[in-house]
Amino acid sequence: MKTLLLARHAKSDWGMPGFADHDRPLNSRGLRDAPEMAQRLVDEEVPLERIVSSSAVRARTTADEYATAYGLPVVEEPLLYAASARSILAIAAALPDDCHVAMLVGHNPGMSDAVSELTREYVQLATCAIAECAVDVGSWAELIEGAGRLLRLRAPKDTA
């Protein structure tokens, strides 16, 4: 059994002209929500072992908050930027098997679509939301569409 957390980056700043999409930072709400969501996972004792993030500034900044909370490094995966659901699931399928609980931090619509394809449940991730999915596989390489079950959906607006 593996657990995959699919996370959408925190709220980004659209009010900074001149920034390329890839370089957009988090806004004040995003800077508040990301560490709060990271602390919620710690408080709920989610045994996170690996964090893989898009290379975009807003995703990487979000992932860095989880990394700080867990004392883990962030593995940057440029292919998560603007990735389709199939690409996201392929990235998950390439995770090392000694890891049992992993998080991918990326962007919509790909992240929401990946949750939906993995679990066969329609999910629309808000900014900084996390879908925790159980995947009944012995090896990440066995991960396929429909192989997961949505355990919990967390969003900043939820009460902890």
**Rounded to whole angstroms, how far apart are CA atoms 110 and 59?**
13
- Is 60 exceeded by the pLDDT of residue 156? yes
- Is 50 exceeded by the pLDDT of residue 59? yes
Q: Which CATH superfamily is domain 2-9+23-154 in?
A: Phosphoglycerate mutase-like (3.40.50.1240)
60 conformational bin, left if phi > 0, alpha if psi -120 to 50, beta if neither = alpha
Domain segments of the chain: what residues?
Answer: 2-9+23-154
If we measure between CA atoms, which residue out of 46, 48, 43, 30 comes closest to residue 127?
30
HEC string of 6-21 equals: EEECCCECCCCCCCCH
**pLDDT tier at 160 (50, 70, 90 boundaries)?**
very low
